[in-house]
Amino acid sequence: MQDFSLYFLLGWEHILDWQGYDHILFVTAFCGIYSLQNWKRVLWSVTAFTVGHSLTLALSVFNQIKVSSALVEFLIPVTILATALFNIVVKKPKPKAAKVSYGLALLFGLIHGMGFSNYLKSLLGKSTNIIAELFSFNLGLEAGQLVIVAVVLLLSWLVVSFFKVQQREWNLFLSSAIFGVALTMALERLNF
């Protein structure tokens, strides 16, 4: 049980780490286009992201895939850029766009999962039974994402309901700000 708590906390901290704010930006961009009424779509999207993240994390830990960490560190802000750009281009999320969104979340989760794999591999050492650790890490990751989702959806609701900002204007503001930060991150990491 102690290992479960440890790895759950690692997943939780991984997604909520202000030093590695790229994950916070990604989840914020991903759910920033939605309103509070769309919470089910958002939950499906972040769950798809976690599935992708979990898959490549497991494959990497089991040495089934190997990708240059410099390339992965560059691709992570590219996923944020693509998500923010999608939000800017799509005027209002529709059911068909939601399906594309789930697919992108899964794909981008695959990329983000490789970003943490080396650190997790070093923590696990030569352990052969890592299924429980991976499971608890991913549960912590999902719980942390849900905190971000709740904060973003509540903030969006406040801005739209109390400050009477149009949902589209809020989406453009939030997505443009995230796009700018992600572009800076991508340019800084363009040395792979």
pLDDT tens per residue, range 140-182: 989 999 999 999 999 999 999 999 999 999 999 999 999 999 9
Instruction: Please count the structural domains in the chain.
Output: 1
Collect all residues with Cβ–Cβ distance below 8 Å to 125 and sequence separation of at least 6: none
Which structural domain range is residue 96 located in? 2-13+20-188
Q: Check residue 1 and give its pLDDT.
A: 58
Any idea what DSSP says for residue 36? Answer: G
Model confidence pTM above 0.85: yes
